[in-house]
């Protein structure tokens, strides 16, 4: 997984998966991507960065189930009382965490859960019921896609278990386009 350079093969798979004809009509453009990055103090990982700039900024067809969101757009079910998202702050996790099973008091874990949801990532989309997909844009897991739900958070990719997919945005999107279930390891 290369987060610094967009692989042409990955971009071809992504274009096909999104049904993009390559004209970039729904893309944000490089000026828009650079403005977002400057505002938030991040550099988006490749190939997502090139996709948003040149291919498509979001897709109603998905992935995930309710569509690929436009850059920095929250899902429709995003809580109105939540703090403002801060992609420039470090994403706090490097391994799966099921906070639903964490025995610490909620006063201790709730602030960390808020950081997991709101720091160091952008929301790619939702499968509904608070099951959101995030692309990490800062920290050691930059470029990895994470599933964050009401029960916990886990990274996506074969190296982490639960799925046979390649890690990162391209692997996540290719897995969806192939019609495979998100959690297909051992299936």
pLDDT for 81: 61
Answer whether residue 179 shows pLDDT above 60: yes
| pLDDT greater than 90 at residue 66 | no
Predicted local distance difference test score (pLDDT) of residue 1: 80
Domain-located, residue 182: no
Asked whether residue 144 is assigned to any structural domain, the reply reads: yes
- pLDDT bracket for residue 80 (50, 70, 90): low
| DSSP conformation class of 119 | B
Q: Is residue 17 part of a domain?
A: yes
Can you tell me the distance from the alpha carbon of 112 to that of 116, in angstroms, rounded to the nearest whole number?
6
Q: Domain tally for the chain?
A: 1
CATH at 110: 3.40.1580
What's the domain range around 119?
A: 8-177
With respect to residue 184, please indicate whether it lies within any of the assigned structural domains: no
Give 121-148 pLDDT, tens digit per residue: 999 998 888 889 999 999 999 999 999 9
The Cα–Cα gap between 16 and 12 comes to 6
Residue 42: CB atoms within 10 A of its CB come to 19
What average pLDDT score do residues 95-100 get?
A: 95
pTM (2 d.p.): 0.92
Count Cβ atoms below 10 Å from residue 38 Cβ, excluding itself. Answer: 10
Q: Confidence class of residue 77 from pLDDT cuts 50, 70 and 90?
A: low
Averaged confidence pLDDT in the chain: 89
Whether 122 maps to a domain, the answer reads yes
186 lies in some domain: no
**Is 72 within the bounds of a domain?**
yes
Q: Give exposure, 101-126, as e/b (b: 16+ Cβ within 10 Å).
A: eeeeeeeeeeebbebbbbbbbbbbbb
pLDDT tens digits, 9-52: 999 888 888 876 545 558 999 999 999 999 999 999 999 999 99
φ, ψ of residue 125 to 5 degrees: the values are: 165, -175
Confidence at residue 157, expressed as pLDDT on a 0 to 100 scale: 94
pLDDT band, residue 61 (cuts 50/70/90)? confident
Residue 1 inside a domain? The answer is no
């Amino acid at each position: 997984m290369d987060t610094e350079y967009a692989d042409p093969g990955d971009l071809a798979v992504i274009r096909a998966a999104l049904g993009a004809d390559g004209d970039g009509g729904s893309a944000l453009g490089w000026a828009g991507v650079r403005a977002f990055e400057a505002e938030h103090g991040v550099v988006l990982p490749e190939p997502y960065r090139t996709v948003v700039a040149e291919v498509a900024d979001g897709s109603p067809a998905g992935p995930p189930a309710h569509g690929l969101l436009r850059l920095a757009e929250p899902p429709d079910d995003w809580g109105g009382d939540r703090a403002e998202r801060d992609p420039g702050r470090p994403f706090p996790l490097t391994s799966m965490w099921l906070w639903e099973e964490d025995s610490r008091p909620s006063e201790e874990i709730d602030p960390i859960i808020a950081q997991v949801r709101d720091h160091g990532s952008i929301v790619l989309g939702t499968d509904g019921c608070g099951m959101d997909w995030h692309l990490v844009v800062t920290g050691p897991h930059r470029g990895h896609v994470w599933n964050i739900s009401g029960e916990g958070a886990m990274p996506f990719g074969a190296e982490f278990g639960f799925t046979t997919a390649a890690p990162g945005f391209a692997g996540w999107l290719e897995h969806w386009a192939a019609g495979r279930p998100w959690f297909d390891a051992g299936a």
